[in-house]
Structures are given as structure tokens and as C-alpha cells.
Structure 1
Amino acid sequence: MSWKNYFSTSIGKKLQMSLTGLFLITFLIVHCYINAQIFYNDGGARFTEAAHFMGTNFLIRTVEIGLMGFLLLHVIQGLALWSKNRSRRTNRYAVNAGSATSPWYSRSMALLGTLILLFLIMHLSKFWAPNRFSQITGNGEKDLYHMMKEEFQTAWVVGVYIFGCISLGWHLVHGFYSAFQTLGLGTSRYKGLIKTTGIAFSIIVPLIFIAMPVAFFMNWLA
């Protein structure tokens, strides 16, 4: 079987989901670290410095293009797998065994992924897109720190971010371990470590993201 045919199979699509998922997890770590710079409470100096490096470094800008591609591939393959699994159900109207067979979040990955995608579109439209457009048109970088400070004074925007980050956390609870399992690393020797790490990651990273809009809304930051 050729690589092209292999990646069109369910196993191949799951492998693509795992690899793109791990890439996106790496991005979350970097993004979380940069956002956490606001908690130095120095008027955004450290955050602005880090954001400037990420926004002007050629290598980072190149990886950014790949990131968008991986994100789209992750979403497309996820929805394709969900659709295929749904179509294979021979008794769709049977009594649902619920959490007796699997946790609800593992059965709701498509829904959680869709919610995260909608949240991400909103996030990119408010911060990333205006900043990149300003750079491309020769007007320089925008002051992202003060843009966040203004945006997160609105209660419903903060609420959407909290909801989006909670959805991300539940998505990661299943996705983190599933990615390693698909790659053959979820063996009995490492299963406990990967699951524990995944749960910790799924709690800590979304909480840091949630803390950011809450801190601005509560005026805890300069």
C-alpha cells in the first residue's frame, strides 16, 4: 500500500490527527508561555518583547504558515473520522450506554473541536489578523497588550474565552493520551505517566489562558 493510500485509511487519518495534534500541543505550550508574561504586571513590557520576537522572526513566521495548515488538517480529518464513525453505526437509535463504555468527552470530540474552532476564529479576528494586516500594510505592529486590555473589559467576550478554554481542556483530556496511543506509545509501561501528564496539561494550560482575560477584566494588571 502506498503512503498516499495509507493516509486515506482510517488508521492513516488517525495518525495524521495524532501528529498534527502533538504539533498543536507544542504550539499551545509556546503560546501559553508568551501570554503568561502579562502576569509580571509590568505594563506589558515582557509580553510585548516576546510577542515582537514571535511576530518578526522569520523562522517563527514560516512555522506559523505550517501551523495554520496543520490546524486545518486536524479539523478536516477530525470531522471526516467523526462522519465515518457515525455512518458505520448500524443501530443508531439503540439505548446509549453512555459513560459505561467511554467518557462523554471522548464521544464529543467533534463537538468540542467545533466549539474550539469557532472560539479560535473569534480570537484570530480580534488579535492575530489585525496585527498581521498592520504589519503587511507597513503600519508596524499593534500594541497587543493594550488591545487585550480593552477587549477584556467586556463581560461577554471574557465569558466566551472562558467557555472556549474549558472546551479546549476537555478536548485535550482525551486528545493528549489518544495522540500518544495512536503512535504506539500508550503501552502499559508509559500509560499512567502519559495520562497523568495529559490531565495536568489539560488543566494547567486552559487555566492560564482563562486567568488572562479574567485578570484584565478584574483590573488586576497595570
Structure 2
Amino acid sequence: MKWLVDFLFRSSIGRKVVMSLSGLFLIAFLVVHLLGNLQLLAYDGGRQFNLYAYFMTHNPLIKTTSYLLYLTILLHAIQGISLAWANRKAKGRTYAVSSNAPISSFSKYMIHFGMIIFIFLGLHMYQFWLQMKMGNAPVLSYPGTDHPVQDLNALVVEAFANPYYVGIYVVSMFALGLHLWHGFQSAFQTLGLNHPKYNGLIRMVGKMYAVAVAVGFAVIPVILFFRQV
């Protein structure tokens, strides 16, 4: 067991493997999170999103998975900073997937994009997750349900009435898109899941995914803001 811990958390290759595996887990999570958040755009007074949020916060399996998600985010951030520091110290440059891989203009700034995203996550958790946990959202009941739900839709709409927060959100999603633009394909490369026959397809899917996720998240606050103007 000690050799595995040493490999995953002390060797350069092992840390890159951890970065790739945690990154792929987060890539999958973002798809689910985006699909859930898009329900904010429904013209139903927030019913669909509020019921979705209630299910996500009360389902035991999903609640357990959420702890794994928090751990994965921290692990991904810590390993990324560790790799960036080691590479800067050894070679005078920031994180790249492998020493023999060409360094794209995005890969040189992966750590910077990552730091922007991590800071945004702190603000995001405070703005929504903490307010939900503290019970600061209004509580209402819907016909056909046997339990009250927090009106998290109202909490989100109120936050996105602030143009400064909308701007911060959009800029952060731009950073996320750039992070994913390089990170998607580099995760496959690090894990050895690359082949000349499929590399082009992986790059194309990765770029399409990065654009779709970044734009998908960014349009939500913009639309909600202009609905209130």
C-alpha cells in the first residue's frame, strides 16, 4: 500500500495520473451539474429547479457522492498546485502533461485558470450552498408534493440580478472553458488512452465539450439578469 501512496502522491507521474483521473470525474460531474442548472431557465416559477435541488440534497446516494466530489476538487487542486510548483522549480515553467508533449498556449496557463476557478468555487459555495445550508432561502410547498422545499430558484435569481456577480460568473466560466480545452485531451494522454487513429477525435470532442460547458454555464446568469432588467 505504501508504494501505491508514494507513487500517486509523491512521484511526478503518479500525481499526473491523480490529476487526470480526478479531472475526468469532474468532467463527468460538470455535465450533470449543467443539465440541472439549465432548469433555472424554465418558465415555471422555479418549480422544476427547486424540486430537482430537493432531490439532489435529500437522496442518500447523491449526498454521499457529493462528499466524494468535494474531496476530488480538493485533491485536483492540491495536486495541480504541487505539480506546477515542482515544474516551475525544476524547469522554470508551469504544469504540462508530459515533458515530451508540445506545450500549447493554454497548457502554460493551466494553473492560472485553475486558481481562478478555485477562487470562484469558494464564492459560489458561499453564495448558494452555504445559504441553502443555513436555511436562508424562502420555503414553499407545491401541489402534489408532501414536503416543503427551499426556493433556491429565488436565491439564484436574486444573485444574478447583480451585474457584478454576473460578470464574475461569466469570466470564471471563460477560465473554465480554457482549462477544459487543454485538460480534456491531456487527461487521456496522461493515462495512455491515446492513439494516432483517435487523437484527432479526442481533441475535437474535448474542444466541443469545453465550449458547450463554458457557454452553457455562462448563458444562465446572463439570461436571468436580462429577464429582470
Q: TM-score, normalised by structure 1?
A: 0.88
Long gaps (5+) in structure 2: 94-101, 137-147
Q: 2:45 aligns with which of 23, 43, 63?
A: 43
Deviation at 1:220, TM superposition (A): 7.0
Counterpart in the other structure of 1:191:
199
Q: Distance in 2 between matches of 1:108 and 1:16?
A: 19
C-alpha displacement of 1:102 = 2.8
Shift of 1:184: 1.1
Name the counterpart of 1:30. Answer: 32
Deviation, 1:82, is 0.2
**Aligned counterpart for 1:82 among listed residues 84, 90, 107:** 84
Which whole-Å deviations, capped at 9, do the CAs of 1:102-144 have from their partners, x for residues lacking one?
3221100111000000111111100011212339xxxx75311
Q: 2: CA distance between counterparts of 1:191 and 1:208?
A: 25
Residue correspondence of structure 1 range 52-201 to structure 2 within 5 A: 52-89=54-91, 102-134=103-135, 142-201=150-209
In the TM superposition, what is the alpha-carbon distance from 1:24 to its structure 2 partner?
A: 0.6
Q: Which runs of 4+ in 1 moved over 6 A?
A: none
- Matching of residue 211 in structure 1 with residue 213 in structure 2: no
Q: Which runs of 5+ in 1 are unaligned?
A: 93-100
Q: Distance in 2 between matches of 1:220 and 1:131?
A: 22
Residues 21 and 179 in structure 1, CA contact (< 8 A), matched pair in contact too: yes
8 A Cα contact 1:18 1:182, kept in partner: yes
Letter in 2 for 1:38: L
TM-score, scaled to structure 2: 0.86
Aligned equivalents of 2:53 and 2:202: distance in 1?
A: 31
Q: Distance in 2 between matches of 1:181 and 1:72?
A: 22
The aligned counterpart of 1:98 is: none
What's the C-alpha RMSD, in Å, of the aligned pairs? 1.9
Contact 1:173 1:202 in 2 (8 A): yes
Count how many residue pairs are aligned between Structure 1 and Structure 2. Answer: 208
